Structure 1
């Protein structure tokens, strides 16, 4: 059914647009191959995903038992030794992981991809809670953060007076 839907959509496209889309996809696959080789030298690759804007990304992880970082690299540019987006967390105890920071460009779908992988990793580690804080530094993009965390089934508590708050997710495995 999905392939049929894609074919119908492609048939509606101008041949020049289809050719351009194919060239872009070929470039992303070429870049993905090169990036996977380089990223795998440093990090554990845990997935390859497509964003909401049909861009391919590579997802990797580092976890030393105390700190967990989910990282994402796009396939539009060469890997230069650093990630394009990450969620950094630490283990509070055997049942809780605490998100310390989310870094990278917003509105590309990268945060949702990384959050899904963090939840999957938490499930694999038998973690029951994913928590985090809202800090004063987040206040200029608070609405966006609340929307993001609500979308990912977090309970969000905000103390506007003290410009602070907390997030908690108890995933239902």
Structure 2
């Protein structure tokens, strides 16, 4: 095959790939619109964001008198009333949010996206610190938790003997 033939083949393959990507994006945007419409019926939509893998997620919140929960839904599938990731916090006092739990599938980037938004909310509400506990039930993945929290600028203290710990931002 000549040099020109190879270039023409690459150009055609490139166009086909671009068309597939655009078609996939169009489907994802339609699904995102539908998901947002359903989520907005019961929750406050905060934003749309991307995970570390490039997937689009809808970020939404539910706020009570003493609780603040931020959730996300992965737009690769239709919303059926359940979140894909969530960070649950309580107000310890007017200056402190306490992380009660972070839930969701591991290694999807959901925790990092949620952490970004809980920190933004803390800034907006003039919250001076975010705290949390590492419980005995967390010790099967304590090193992963330690890495996660440090990556998000938390001070992490672990008592390996007592199998507990605390985090502060």
Please report the TM-score for the alignment, with normalisation by the length of structure 2: 0.89
Instruction: Please list, as runs of the form range in 1=range in 2, the aligned pairs for 1:42-81 lying within 5 A after superposition.
Output: 42-81=42-81
User: For residues 17 and 138 of structure 2, what CA distance do their matches in structure 1 show?
Assistant: 40
Deviation of 1:24 (Å): 1.7
Determine the structure 2 residue equivalent to 1:24: 24
Determine the structure 1 residue equivalent to 2:108: 108
Determine the structure 2 residue equivalent to 1:137: 137
Does residue 83 (structure 1) correspond to residue 83 (structure 2)? The answer is yes
Per-residue CA deviations over 1:59-107 (Å, capped at 9, x if unaligned) read: 0011123000010001111111111100001000011010000000111
Provide structure 1 residue ranges, at least 5 long, that are not aligned to the other structure: 1-10
Paired residues, number: 158
Determine the structure 1 residue equivalent to 2:36: 36
Secondary structure in 2 matching 1:53: coil
Larger Rg: 2
Determine the structure 1 residue equivalent to 2:7: none
Return structure 1 stretches of 4+ with deviation > 4 angstroms: none
Deviation of 1:17 (Å): 2.9
Deviation of 1:144 (Å): 1.1
Per-residue CA deviations over 1:90-141 (Å, capped at 9, x if unaligned) read: 0000110100000001111111111010001111111101000001111111
